[in-house]
Chains A and B, each alone.
Chain A
Amino acid sequence: MKIKDSIEGCFQLMGGDFTNAGTASSELKSILSKLGVSQEVVRRAAIAAFEAEMNVIIHAVAGTMHYVVSSEEVRITLTDMGPGIQDIELAMQEGYSTAPDWVREMGWGAGMGLPNIKKNADRFKIDSVMGEGTTLEIVIYTRKD
């Protein structure tokens, strides 16, 4: 990889906007590919970002996806104005979901999102305040050693 200084950027996310949901992750995927990040890291970052982006679209009013790419890692931070997560441990369980029925009928909200993010991240942190919002930090190492 040929990154000297770190490269960063930010996308705006609108809650409920299913039409454009996924565009941020799709752009991030293409940015990472162009930077020469390994295919495996691109894939893991894209999947984790996409799940996190969908969480914002499904649950929050609005949010941002911020990314920093360095020669060491890809760091993706999602901050939203949303309801917050009441019980993070419970939310991490596969199959647990608070998504409404209509979201399930759109092919999402089956409680696999956070577990999928965790699986693809090397480091993963959730901070949430009820009634205010949630911040998710996803870090994926770009180097194997």
Chain B
Amino acid sequence: MKLNDIAEIVDGHIIVNSTGGSPDIVSVCSTDLMSDVLRFATKGALLVTALNQSQVIRTAEISDIPAVLMVMGKKMEREMIELAMEKNIALMVTHLPAFTVCGMLYAGGLRSCLED
């Protein structure tokens, strides 16, 4: 599923997308614990989180995650946004909570990333 289509489903605003295209999302990982992200085969996954720290972008970079969805309309510090731009990681924000986002994306056909 294209990131643009996901944005439509979850009423998301894409605030960083330095590559310009709409990355193809193959799976979803919903967590606030970064070691949990690192456990999974997350290549091409969307990371759904409420953690608004630069570490989220670092983790995405390390684990080949093309896009991060920040839930609950969490405010992000400038450093986090700048890092996402620098590392070519798309960043999207929605006012919806993680549960609604996961429910809608699961219903839309996306599935969980698998254990690595």
Contacts and interface: CB of A to CB of B under 8 A. Distances in A.
Interface stretch (B1-9, B10-18, B52-60): B52-60
Contact of A107 (B34, B63, B87, B116): B34
Given A47-B63, A107-B33, A112 B39 contact: yes
Contact of B33 (A22, A25, A108): A108
B32 A107 contact: yes
A112 B36 contact: yes
Contacts of B38: 47, 50-51, 112, 116
B61 A29 contact: yes
A50 B62 contact: yes
Contacts of A21: 55, 58
Contacts of A113: 35
Interface string A25-36: 110010000000
Contacts of A19: 54, 79
A14 interface: no
Interface of A: 18-19, 21-23, 25-26, 29, 43, 46-47, 50-51, 54, 106-108, 110, 112-113, 116, 119
Given A22-B54, A106-B51, 19 more contacts: A18-B55, A22-B55, A22-B58, A22-B61, A23-B58, A26-B58, A26-B62, A26-B87, A29-B62, A43-B63, A46-B63, A51-B35, A54-B34, A107-B32, A107-B51, A107-B53, A110-B35, A110-B36, A112-B39
26 contacts: A18-B54, A19-B54, A21-B55, A21-B58, A22-B54, A22-B55, A23-B58, A25-B58, A29-B61, A29-B62, A46-B62, A46-B63, A47-B62, A106-B51, A106-B55, A107-B49, A107-B51, A110-B33, A110-B35, A110-B36, A112-B33, A112-B39, A113-B35, A116-B35, A116-B38, A119-B116
